[in-house]
Amino acid sequence: MREAAATPAWVLLAYLISGVCFILALRGLSGPESSRRGNYTGMVGMAIAVGTTLAVHQVASIAEIAGAMLIGGGIGLITARKIQMTAMPQLVAAFHSLVGMAAVLVGAAAFLNPGAFGILDPARQILQVSRVEMGLGVAIGAITFSGSVIAFLKLNGNMSGKPILLPLRHVINLSTLAAILGLIAYFTQDQAPWVFFTVAGLSFAIGFLLIIPIGGADMPVVISMLNSYSGWAAAAMGFTLHNSAMIITGALVGSSGAILSYIMCRAMNRSFISVIAGGFGGVSASADAAAIDRPYKRGSAEDAAFLMKQADQVIIVPGYGMAVSQAQHALKEMADKLKAEGVRIKYAIHPVAGRMPGHMNVLLAEANVPYDEVFELEDINSEFAQTDVAFVIGANDVTNPAAKTDKSSPIYGMPVLDVEKARTVLFVKRSMGGVGYAGVDNELFYRDNTMMLLADAKKMVEEIVKALG
């Protein structure tokens, strides 16, 4: 505390400025134009924080630090350049795990060398309040790390997206959490290393246990939640270090992730608790079996091309299937051909389409779709009734009318796109067998105004492009 009190005023101000830069970086994201400037402001804020830290501390190992930054920065830059946009959810999960691990390492370093962080009391013991902050920071960091590793493996396909349900998991999870909190409380009385490292170890374990039962479809919530955790971990470390830049950033990131989780839950009409409890997305066999016998209309690429060419307005509804088959570029080509025929094209995006918030928007932007043709659910839903063709590609549950009518459906109450109100619905789907992530059949397939286009999304769109000539 003595060292912290001796911090010169300009240093405190510099950290404050850095925090303000981060606020401005997020503020910039209210529109695409201001967002690019915001991103640079964020970089400036980071440079100020790093520069200030190096300037005020006696640096005994500048060469090693420079080396660590070069290695880390190089890996980061190369990854950022090479990564495919469809793989963004995995990348973000991987980045979260690094923040979590860094928090754990900083916590451990502060525990081993508390003098350097200025958190010793006159009796050369770690300050009690710092012990709580440190314990919480390490716990949240460890949960962020192991949870993000599981999320990464599930998103990257190294691990099945199906929920893995352990017996008694709620009992195990709750008692582990209680043990972590109890140990942090005990840590204030006894700063023995075993307490500290047990907290870290148990937190790593609970991170795995918490994410394993959550199915692939709930990943948008999970990834937002881990985003939030990485913020709270940074904030807890900021408390330990009395650093306002870290506290401000932690609070920003923490609330950002929390708000995104809330938006995702609302878009699925599910409570946060039920997502965390896990188990959603196990495919029920009965829904599959019932689906097979019902009659449906099947169309060809030529039929689809003909219908869309005649239309005044076509609304394209993309979903995760479009991302999987990388159909966004072909889709843009199709839209361009239709525009040349005088057709108005719009895109409708459901908040949970894809595997992370805003995933579809990035993919469309990558394919050079202008962002003023892309609309959110509430802005476009009333337009389907005046639309000639709704072109659903790789989306399923988010178009299911059962969410509005069938009280027994697991997705009842979820806000959906009213595609069935369009004069014709063209539904691109790999086969009739599979069901959406919620494991429910989609009544939309069997309606009179629906034409099923059964093929891989990219192949189908390419054939339509050919048919448009």
Is 313 a residue that touches another protein (CB under 8 A)? no
Binding string, residues 259-298; x marks residues near another protein by CB under 8 A: xx--x-----------------------------------
Q: Is 374 in the site for another protein (CB under 8 A)?
A: yes
CB of 439 to another protein, least distance (A): 26
Residues numbered 126 to 185 that lie near another protein (CB under 8 A) are: 129
Of the two residues 217 and 323, which places its CB atom closer to another protein in the complex? Answer: 323
Judged by CB under 8 A, the residue of 11, 23, 205, 277 near another protein is 23
Cβ 366 vs Cβ 331: under 8 Å: no
> Considering the complex, what minimum distance in angstroms separates the CB of residue 241 from another protein?
5
Active-site hit among 397, 406, 418, 448: 397
Considering the complex, state which of residue 73 and residue 282 has its C-beta at the smaller distance from another protein: 73
To the nearest whole angstrom, how small is the minimum distance from the Cβ of residue 300 to another protein? 31
* Nearest distance from C-beta of residue 438 to another protein, angstroms: 22
Q: How far is the CB of 359 from another protein (least distance, A)?
A: 6
Indicate which single residue of 146, 224, 409, 450 sits in contact with another protein (rule: CB under 8 A). 224
Please report whether residue 11 would count as binding another protein according to CB under 8 A: no
> By C-beta, is 22 or 384 nearer to another protein?
22
Residues 214, 199: Cα–Cα separation, whole Å: 24
Residue whose CB is less far from another protein, 355 or 458: 355
Show contacts with another protein in window 40-59 (CB under 8 A): 42-43, 45-46, 49-50, 53-54, 57-59
Residues contacting another protein: total by CB under 8 A:
118
b/e sequence 230-241, b meaning 16+ C-beta within 10 Å: bbbbbbbbbbbb
Binding test (CB under 8 A) with another protein, winner from 120, 159, 177, 251:
251
Q: Residue 13 interacts with another protein (CB under 8 A)? A: no
Write the secondary structure of the chain as one string of H (helix), E (strand) and C (coil): CHHHHCCCHHHHHHHHHHHHHHHHHHHHHHCHHHHHHHHHHHHHHHHHHHHHHHHHCCCCCHHHHHHHHHHHHHHHHHHHHHCCHHHHHHHHHHHHHHHHHHHHHHHHHHHHCHHHHCCECCCCCECHHHHHHHHHHHHHHHHHHHHHHHHHHHHCCCCCCCCCCCCCHHHHHHHHHHHHHHHHHHHCCCCCHHHHHHHHHHHHHHHHHHHCCCCHHHHHHHHHHHHHHHHHHHHHHHHHHCCHHHHHHHHHHHHHHHHHHHHHHHHHCCCHHHHHHCCCCCCCHHHHHHHCCCCCCECCHHHHHHHHHHCCEEEEEECHHHHHCCCHHHHHHHHHHHHHCCCEEEEEECCCCCCCCCHHHHHHHHCCCCHHHEEEHHHHHHHHHHCCEEEEECCCHHHCCHHHHCCCCCCCCCCCCCHHHCCEEEEEECCCCCCCCCCCCCHHHHCCCEEEEECCHHHHHHHHHHHHC
Per CB under 8 A, the segment of 25-33, 165-173, 293-301, 403-411 that binds another protein is 25-33
Catalytic residue check, 388: no
Give me the residues paired with residue 347 across strands.
316, 374
Q: Least distance to another protein from the beta carbon of 141, Å?
A: 9
Interface pick for another protein out of 139, 184, 235, 425 (rule CB under 8 A)? 235
- Should residue 356 be labelled a site residue for another protein when binding is judged by CB under 8 A? yes
- Which residues ranging from 388 to 417 are in contact with another protein (CB under 8 A)? none
Closest to another protein by CB, 336 or 456: 336
Which listed residue (256, 300, 326, 449) binds another protein by CB under 8 A?
A: 256
For residues 73-132, which are near another protein according to CB under 8 A? Answer: 73-77, 79-81, 83, 85, 88, 91-92, 95-96, 98-99, 101-103, 105-106, 108-110, 112-113, 115-117, 129
Tell me the catalytic residues. Answer: 397
